[in-house]
C-alpha cells in the first residue's frame, strides 16, 4: 500500500465515522450549552490523555474564542488543566478520584459536565459522571468504540462508532469545534 493510499484510507475512515455519528445528540449538546450560557451555569469538562488535550483546547475556544467580544462570558472549567492538583490527588488519594475531588462541593445546580472517554470506561471519568448525575445535573458524554458505560450513563451521548482511537479523538474535536462555531454564529460573535 502506498503512502497516498494510506492517507486516503485515513480520511475515508474519519469521514465515515463523522457521518455515522448521531446528529441529534450534537443538536441536543448545542442547545444544552446555549442554556448553560443563558443561565450563567458552569460547564465542566475532562478527559485523559488525548481526550484531556481536547478538553483543554475547547475551554480556550469557549472562554476566549467566543467570549472575547461578548458582554456575557461562557464559564468553562477544565478539570484536567491543573497538573499540580491532579498529581497531588493521584499521589495522596487515587487517580480514580482526580476529577471527582475537584468537582465536589463546587458544582452548582444547573452546571453541566462534558465527559470525554474514547473507550467510555475510564474510571475517573465515570466517578465524576456519577457525582454530577447524583446532583441532578446534565452529563454530556463523548465516547468511541462501543461507548462503554459513559454512553449508557450520559444524558446526552455523542458516540463515534469506530474502533480507532485516533479517529475517535479527531471526531470529538470536530464535534466540539462544530458546537463552538454554531454557537458563536448564533450569538453573533466572531470565533477568534
Fold classification of 3-187 is: Rossmann fold (3.40.50)
Nearest to 112 by CA among 87, 72, 141, 144: 141
List the domain boundaries for the chain: 3-187
Buried b (16+ CB within 10 A) or exposed e, 150-168: bbebbbbbbbbbbebeebb
This model's pTM is above 0.85: yes
Print pLDDT tens along the chain (192 aa). Answer: 899 999 999 999 999 999 999 899 999 999 999 999 999 999 999 999 999 999 999 999 999 999 988 889 999 999 999 999 999 999 999 999 999 999 999 999 999 999 999 999 999 999 999 999 999 999 999 999 999 999 999 999 999 999 999 999 999 999 999 999 999 999 998 777
Amino acid at each position: 500500500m502506498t503512502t497516498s493510499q494510506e492517507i486516503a484510507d485515513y480520511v475515508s475512515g474519519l469521514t465515515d465515522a463523522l457521518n455515522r455519528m448521531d446528529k441529534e445528540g450534537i443538536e441536543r449538546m448545542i442547545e444544552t450549552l446555549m442554556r448553560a450560557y443563558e443561565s450563567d451555569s458552569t460547564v465542566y469538562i475532562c478527559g485523559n490523555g488525548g481526550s484531556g488535550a481536547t478538553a483543554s483546547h475547547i475551554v480556550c475556544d469557549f472562554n476566549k474564542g467566543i467570549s472575547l467580544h461578548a458582554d456575557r462570558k461562557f464559564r468553562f472549567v477544565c478539570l484536567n488543566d491543573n497538573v499540580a492538583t491532579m498529581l497531588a490527588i493521584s499521589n495522596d488519594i487515587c487517580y480514580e478520584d482526580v476529577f471527582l475531588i475537584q468537582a465536589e462541593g463546587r458544582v452548582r445546580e444547573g452546571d453541566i459536565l462534558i465527559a470525554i472517554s474514547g473507550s467510555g470506561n475510564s474510571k475517573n471519568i465515570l466517578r465524576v459522571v456519577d457525582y454530577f448525575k447524583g446532583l441532578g445535573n446534565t452529563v454530556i458524554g463523548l465516547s468511541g468504540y462501543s461507548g462503554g458505560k459513559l454512553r449508557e450513563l450520559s444524558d446526552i451521548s455523542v458516540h463515534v462508532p469506530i474502533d480507532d482511537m485516533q479517529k475517535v479523538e479527531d471526531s470529538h474535536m470536530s464535534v466540539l469545534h462544530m458546537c463552538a462555531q454554531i454557537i458563536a454564529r448564533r450569538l453573533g460573535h466572531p470565533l477568534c
